[in-house]
Amino acid sequence: MLTDPDGDSVRLSDLRGRIVLLHFWGSWCAPCQVEFPELQALYDALKDDRRIAFVLVQVREDIARSRRWAEQRGFAMPFHDSGARSPADGVLAMPGGRGIEDRILAPQFPGTYVLDKNGLVLFSHFGPLHSWNAYGALFRHAATHAPE
C-alpha cells in the first residue's frame, strides 16, 4: 500500500488501465541520484499523458527526507510514500497488512518496472538506467497498442 503525493492511499491495482512506471529509489543511492535528471526529463515529456502514470517509491528512508532531497535539486515528480521510515526499514507494506522485503522487489536500487494496462510487467531493470528519454516512445506505444 502506498500513499500518493496528495496523501491518499493507492494500490497499483488502482492504476489499471494505465501504463505505470514503478521506480524504487532512495536519496542515499548514488546511482539513483545520477539517473534522476534524465528521469525528470522523461516525466516532463509524458506527464500530461493521462494514459501513463509515474509512481516513484522511496526505500529505506522517510518520504519527507526523499521529497526534501528531490525538491532541493529541482526534481518534481510524483513521489509516493512506501511507509519506510529509516535505513533499517526494508519492508514495504502490502494490502491486508502483510509486508514484503524491498530487496525482493528490487534486488538493486534503483529498481524499475513498467507495467501494462493490466498490471503485467512489460519491462524491468535493476540498477541505473541510462538514456531514459529513449523510453518515451515505448510508453506511448504501450499506451496506444496494449490490449485492454
Angle at 24 between CA 101 and CA 95, to 5 degrees: 50
Mean pLDDT of 2-13: 90
Is residue 100 classed as helix, strand or coil in its secondary structure?
A: strand
Amino acid present at 33: Q
pLDDT at 106: 75
Place of cell 502490502: 94
Confidence of residue 3 (pLDDT cuts 50, 70, 90): confident
* Beta-bridge mates of residue 2: 10
Q: Over the stretch 74-105, which tens digit does the pLDDT of each residue have?
A: 999 999 998 887 777 776 767 677 777 666 67
Phi, psi of 88 (to 5 degrees): -85, -5
- Tell the residue number behind the cell numbers 514495504, with chain if given: 92
* Tens digits of residue pLDDT in 36-56: 999 999 999 999 999 999 999
pLDDT at 104: 64
Over residues 15-25, the pLDDT tens digits come to: 999 999 999 99
- For residues 129-136, average pLDDT: 86
Domains of the chain: 2-145 (3.40.30.10)
Q: Which is higher by pLDDT, 137 or 100?
A: 137
pLDDT over 70, % of the chain? 90
Asked if 106 contacts 124 with a C-beta cutoff of 8 angstroms, the reply is no
Q: Report the predicted TM-score, pTM, of the whole model to 2 decimal places.
A: 0.90
Q: Which three cell numbers stand for residue 1?
A: 500500500
- Least confident span in 26-30, 94-98, 117-121: 94-98
